[in-house]
């Protein structure tokens, strides 16, 4: 289940691999489920456009696209495509910044990918077999393909023409950068459980079930505390715990239980050392009390009854 750290890792990986490449052809499956924009409209908007960059907003991957007729700032050498594809250092040769630097031209459109529960965004060689539940295939000028695979179809694909509308922006605050004052204000006088509040994407964006449970454990707060009843000190512990666990997971390259696959299609199974998540009945790593599992906001919720008050 991709949350902020997994999506960040995937966005960075895709950025490094496809920046400067051109979308030659776009194919979409006939399932209606994953498409916020009709597939035909997405294909028409994507074909011919240049990928200026890829970044994360909340749990969304935003692909910034340049104009149809333009020349890519860093044209991809198709003969070297595979070599670059397999070696990150080589891939950086054409991109001195090597990261999420400024665009070289103004984005005209965006392709927005939400991975849902089981979505994967892969950069592959064209001869890699098509996985089951592949819903999108973008053939790139370099010869490689950008594929979207999603068995459960909880993911979403959207195309935005920036000349006709506004760009994508996440609904909630970024947990990595939000300050103490703004964080406390999010929960003030709210009656819902703090666990439910952390999952609410209109308050904070990017936090899912794993990091909600883990940050509450690290902050020593029970998931069924009412959000508005937390003290200022508890909120500050929660903010720093959340930021810390997210940053840690990003450093590890994202963590997940079963569905995370990195942009290369290589299983990036960097399972974070979860303290409570899916450790029901196992001893708490801090005090050895068995971890308890309850249901909050329809989600499995794990906590230590002794460490969390």
- Residues lying near DNA in the complex (CB under 7 A) are found at 1, 3, 32-33, 58-59, 114, 116-117, 132-133, 151-154, 156, 190-193, 196, 199, 201, 208-209, 258, 297-300
Q: How far is the CB of 64 from DNA (least distance, A)?
A: 20
Q: State how far the Cα of 240 lies from the Cα of 196, in Å rounded to an integer.
A: 18
Active-site option among 2, 5, 34, 72: 2
Is residue 266 within 8 A of residue 88, CB to CB? The reply is: no
- Nearest alpha carbon to residue 112 among 156, 153, 147, 152: 156
Q: How far is the CB of 212 from DNA (least distance, A)?
A: 8
Q: Where are the alpha helices (DSSP H) in the chain?
A: 4-18, 39-46, 81-86, 88-91, 180-187, 194-199, 209-219, 232-252
Q: State how far the Cα of 85 lies from the Cα of 90, in Å rounded to an integer.
A: 8
Q: How far is the CB of 44 from DNA (least distance, A)?
A: 22
Record the tokens describing residue 286, joined without a space.
Answer: 């801090």
Active-site option among 22, 49, 59, 147: 59
Record the tokens describing residue 141, joined without a space.
Answer: 């000028």
CA 176 → CA 55, 240, 241, 245, 248, distances in Å? 15, 9, 11, 10, 11
Comparison of 101 and 167: residue with beta carbon closer to DNA: 167
Is residue 203 within 8 A of residue 242, CB to CB? The reply is: no
Q: How far is the CB of 31 from DNA (least distance, A)?
A: 7
Is 236 a residue of the active site?
Answer: no
Is 3 a residue of the active site?
Answer: yes
Q: State how far the Cα of 88 lies from the Cα of 201, in Å rounded to an integer.
A: 33
Task: Give the chain's end-to-end CA distance (angstroms, integer).
Answer: 27
Q: State how far the Cα of 271 lies from the Cα of 84, in Å rounded to an integer.
A: 27
Is 299 a residue of the active site?
Answer: yes
Is 2 a residue of the active site?
Answer: yes
Q: How far is the CB of 61 from DNA (least distance, A)?
A: 11
C-beta atoms surrounding 146 within 10 Å? 26
Is residue 176 within 8 A of residue 244, CB to CB? The reply is: no
Please give the positions annotated as active site: 2-3, 59, 299
């Amino acid at each position: 289940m991709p949350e902020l750290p997994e999506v960040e890792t995937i966005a960075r990986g895709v950025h490094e691999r496809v920046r400067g490449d051109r979308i030659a052809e776009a194919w979409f499956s006939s399932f209606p489920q994953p498409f916020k924009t009709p597939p035909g409209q997405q294909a028409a908007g994507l074909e011919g456009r240049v990928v200026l960059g890829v970044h994360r907003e909340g749990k969304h991957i935003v692909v910034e696209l340049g104009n149809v007729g333009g020349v890519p700032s860093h044209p991809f050498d198709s003969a070297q495509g595979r070599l670059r594809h397999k070696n990150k250092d080589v891939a950086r040769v054409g991109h001195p910044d090597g990261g999420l630097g400024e665009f070289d031209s103004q984005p005209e459109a965006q392709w927005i990918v939400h991975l849902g529960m089981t979505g994967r965004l892969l950069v592959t060689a064209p001869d890699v077999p098509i996985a089951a539940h592949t819903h999108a295939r973008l053939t790139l000028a370099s010869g490689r393909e950008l594929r979207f695979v999603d068995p459960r179809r909880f993911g979403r694909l959207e195309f935005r023409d920036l000349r006709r509308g506004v760009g994508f922006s996440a609904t909630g605050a970024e947990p990595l950068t939000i300050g103490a004052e703004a964080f406390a204000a999010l929960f003030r006088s709210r009656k819902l459980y703090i666990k439910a509040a952390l999952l609410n994407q209109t308050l904070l964006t990017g936090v899912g079930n794993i990091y909600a449970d883990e940050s509450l454990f690290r902050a020593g707060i029970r998931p069924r505390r009412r959000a508005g009843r937390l003290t200022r000190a508890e909120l500050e512990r929660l903010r720093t715990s959340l930021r810390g666990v997210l940053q840690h997971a990003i450093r590890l390259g994202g963590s997940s239980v079963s569905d995370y696959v990195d942009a290369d299609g290589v299983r990036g199974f960097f399972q974070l050392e979860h303290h409570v998540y899916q450790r029901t009945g196992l001893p708490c790593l801090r005090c050895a009390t068995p971890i308890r599992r309850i249901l909050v906001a329809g989600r499995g919720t794990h906590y230590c009854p002794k460490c969390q008050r």
